[in-house]
Structure 1
Amino acid sequence: MPAKNKQTKAPKGTVGVEKFRGKLRLRLPRQIFGGKQKYISTGLEDTPENWKRVQSKAWAIEEDIATGNFDPTLVKYRPQSHLSLAKPSENFIVPLNLNELWEKYTEFKSTQVEETTLRLNFNRVASHINKLPTKLLKDSTEIRDYLVSKNSPYTAKRILMQINACCNWAVKSELIESNPFQGMAQEIKSPRNSADGIDIDPFTAQERDIIINTFREHPIYHHYTNFVRFLFMTGCRTSEAVALKWKHINSDCSKITFSEAVVSISSQKIRKGLKTEERRDFPCNKSMQSLLLSIRPENYKSEDLVFPSVSGKEINSHTFHAFVWKGSVNKGKRYIGIVQGLADEGKIERYRPQYQTRHTFITLALENGLDVKDVARLVGNSPEVIYKHYAGRKRDLMVPEF
């Protein structure tokens, strides 16, 4: 083979030309900066003509290095238009916009968080970032105002908190010099009575019973009656009820152990651990014990689902809420959900989303005398959350005789 085809190491003093994120940049020799790597970003697209321009600049810098005329401040190499220079006293920081930073931050966190967190939370923030009218860090105020105008206060606050964490990481990683989003999330006030991102608006006990009875009498959706009863009677998260198997319930159905959750991402169901803890035991009262015993098959298997869908698989919580609970329009056909229908008919005061089954249980448990700490243990929240979002809610008070 001819010697010219053999790959050789570039000699000292060589200025490299390389492509980075679709743009050309100059890679300066480490030895002239005490072993530190510095770059000059050109801002030029990766085209043959631009390669020639940038290569000419590289040769000129090499000539200065060889003759002792190199300018370590890089001011001498400032072009008339596109080239941006590294600061003389610090490593050059490649300018990144917000979506590029989020991509790098996601890659960094990918080994530290669960797959579901990446695919749900991180992808959700990425989706919001992609919709922004500008992604330049210098437009942080415009980004904040856009998020506030397009989302609820809670959602806008959560997105800004994530962006702030990303930019804090980017500063520590020397990708940006400062965090323009610092403190912005704290300026947004979320609704007082909210938890898990949803306003607390529980059903009354009477409304709860109307909903359950309507499910029981429905010609199609009666299959989900016991699933809905279970949600109201335990206050568990929907993902926890979907994941429940008979192995999670003891032999006499006096205790439930919540240890898994199922979430749906892009029509794919993923089984994972609980949101706030490894496991949670729920003692069954007589009504719950009776319910579980009545629906347990005679020849059940430990891996069988307690609340399967009509097809025998795990319930898709999004589909259940969209079509069964609330109703939806699909391919021009309108599906009337049970709870939305009850609200339209005036049989319940107003429509509330399915997650309010959890808030209903917590509220009724407190109103019936359960201690805050005990309610927190039952539903997998901290006492602080219960105190903040539930125990302080306005409700009818009576002054005792004394």
Structure 2
Amino acid sequence: MKVEHKASKGSVGVESFQERLRLRLPRHLYNGKQKYLTLGMADNPENRKLAEAKAKQIESDIAFERFDPTLAKYKPQTHLTLVAPITEGQQQTTLIELWDKYTDYKSKTLSVTTINKDYKKTKNHIASLPTQKLSEAVIIRDFLLKTVTPNATKRVLTQLKACCDWAIDSELISSNPFVGMSQKVKVAINDETINLFNKGEQEQIITAFERNTYYSHYTSYVRFLFMTGCRTSEAIGLTWGHINSNLTLITFCEAVVEGNRKDTKTHKSRKFPVNQSLKELLVSIKPSNPNADTPVFKAPKGGLIDAHNFLNRAWKTVLSELNIPYRPQYHTRHTFITNCLEAGISVVQVAKWVGNSPEIIMKHYAGTIRQVQVPEL
């Protein structure tokens, strides 16, 4: 560590720590504890001038009793963080160590699927970072921006901030270097995210599955997705015990994600009324005396459908043979919701059928509804 000068009482020192500039604040401001203000700038002549100017501003505020101990006043557009020093012989906790402890803590309240899927994905990002030091949060941010999408960067930084918040509460660290970082990552809004299948495309897809030598087994499953708008995991988790005896009402109350049976995404069950077309489909596939726990839709060799295999093999293969723009299978849900709204069904009712809130329906689907003629009033 290179110290530019020894600061007298009330003075702010400029230091280079691991080739990054920081300011050493007077101890008396924090009850004798040594605190630093990281500037997030490389140590070069131009940045040193900026650091010295910032130090003089803080010194002036101290002298005239207008110093802001939260340091919010001294933060430029780039990220600044108040950090505690690492004392001689003290080993800095690495980011991946904190994440493992945070994951263990969260595993007590989150589902196994969430831990194995979402938290493992974040750990993989952490493992690929060029540094595990909390003091180099800016380097971590810049690396993510260069190597992954803005969306992924924003998600990872949000998770790291939450992890460090927990670590502070758990007295594992004294400050959070990721505060405010994710909000500054600009993410482009894609208005074309929801791209519906029109009626003709739906018929082409269903017919293509019926005629496919390898994947015709999934035809009823695909029809069901289009006809109910349910989530993939809910269709896979549906058993005959979830449908009443006269096939007029479906209860979506369970889901299967990566082979694990759990409750629905919203942790709530919902009733779905069966119309005539859907009833005919259920009649055509119902076994003579099914057990209550028998899946309605099975894999070709029995057992539960693997959502990833279906998407990457069956769905992509079948759609690649059609002269229509490719969209993931989940767009069957988008299509059902939008068709219901265009048919004049209320947002509240559609939300109940598909297990969303009315607010989510309006936010994501209102803009996809085709314009209709203004009525005569």
TM-score (normalizing by structure 2):
0.73
What are the equivalent positions in structure 2 for 1:41-80 lying under 5 Å apart?
none
Q: Which position in structure 1 is the counterpart of 2:343?
A: 368
What are the equivalent positions in structure 2 for 1:212-251 lying under 5 Å apart?
212-251=206-245
SS in 1 for 2:103: helix
Residues 97-120 of structure 1: per-residue CA shift (max 9 Å, x gap): 211110111111121212121111
Q: How many residues align?
A: 292
CA contact (8 A) 2:236 2:305 kept: yes
Structure-1 separation of matches of 2:362 and 2:307: 28
The AA in structure 2 aligned to 1:118 is I
Name which of structure 1's ranges 280-289 and 185-194 shifts more when overlaid on structure 2.
185-194
SS in 2 for 1:392: helix
Structure-2 separation of matches of 1:379 and 1:192: 24
Residues 212 and 191 of structure 1: CA distance in aligned 2, closer, same or farther (over 3 Å): farther
Residues 148 and 375 of structure 1: CA distance in aligned 2, closer, same or farther (over 3 Å): farther
Structure-2 separation of matches of 1:96 and 1:164: 15
Structure-2 separation of matches of 1:199 and 1:387: 15
The AA in structure 1 aligned to 2:262 is K
CA contact (8 A) 1:245 1:302 kept: yes
What are the equivalent positions in structure 2 for 1:20-169 lying under 5 Å apart?
85=87, 95-169=92-166
Structure-2 separation of matches of 1:386 and 1:116: 25
Does residue 1:354 correspond to 2:334, yes or no? no
Shift of 1:284: 1.1
Structure-2 separation of matches of 1:230 and 1:300: 18
Shift of 1:401: 4.3
- Equivalent residue for 1:305, pick from 288, 295, 301: 295
Name which of structure 1's ranges 148-157 and 252-261 shifts more when overlaid on structure 2.
148-157
Residues 365 and 93 of structure 1: CA distance in aligned 2, closer, same or farther (over 3 Å): farther
CA contact (8 A) 2:206 2:219 kept: yes
Residues 362-394 of structure 1: per-residue CA shift (max 9 Å, x gap): 111111112111111111111111111111336
CA contact (8 A) 1:191 1:199 kept: no
Structure-1 separation of matches of 2:117 and 2:260: 11
CA contact (8 A) 1:95 1:176 kept: no
CA contact (8 A) 2:342 2:369 kept: no
Structure-2 separation of matches of 1:150 and 1:253: 51
Residues 113-169 of structure 1: per-residue CA shift (max 9 Å, x gap): 121211111111111111122222222233223333433433332222211110111
Structure-2 separation of matches of 1:325 and 1:153: 28
Shift of 1:181: 1.2
Q: Which position in structure 1 is the counterpart of 2:204?
A: 210
CA contact (8 A) 1:93 1:174 kept: no
CA contact (8 A) 1:212 1:229 kept: yes
The AA in structure 2 aligned to 1:142 is I
Does residue 1:182 correspond to 2:179, yes or no? yes
Structure-2 separation of matches of 1:381 and 1:143: 36
Q: Which position in structure 2 is the counterpart of 1:76?
A: none
The AA in structure 1 aligned to 2:114 is T
TM-score (normalizing by structure 1):
0.68
- Segments of structure 1 that go 5 or more residues without pairing to the other structure are 1-83, 87-91, 327-336
The AA in structure 2 aligned to 1:206 is G
Name which of structure 1's ranges 220-229 and 171-180 shifts more when overlaid on structure 2.
171-180
- Equivalent residue for 1:399, pick from 371, 374, 377: 374
Does residue 1:252 correspond to 2:246, yes or no? yes
SS in 2 for 1:353: coil
Q: Which position in structure 1 is the counterpart of 2:318?
A: 338
- Segments of structure 2 that go 5 or more residues without pairing to the other structure are 1-85
Structure-2 separation of matches of 1:156 and 1:276: 26
The AA in structure 1 aligned to 2:301 is S
Residues 314 and 125 of structure 1: CA distance in aligned 2, closer, same or farther (over 3 Å): same
Shift of 1:241: 0.6
Structure-2 separation of matches of 1:209 and 1:399: 31
SS in 1 for 2:368: coil
Structure-2 separation of matches of 1:169 and 1:270: 28
The AA in structure 2 aligned to 1:279 is S
Structure whose alpha-carbon radius of gyration is higher: 1
Name which of structure 1's ranges 362-371 and 138-147 shifts more when overlaid on structure 2.
138-147
Identity %, equivalent residues: 48
The AA in structure 1 aligned to 2:87 is L
Structure-1 separation of matches of 2:243 and 2:369: 36
Structure-1 separation of matches of 2:210 and 2:341: 27
The AA in structure 1 aligned to 2:245 is S
CA contact (8 A) 1:257 1:280 kept: yes
Structure-1 separation of matches of 2:336 and 2:90: 53
CA contact (8 A) 1:235 1:359 kept: yes
Structure-2 separation of matches of 1:358 and 1:172: 40
Q: Which position in structure 2 is the counterpart of 1:34?
A: none
Structure-1 separation of matches of 2:144 and 2:345: 39
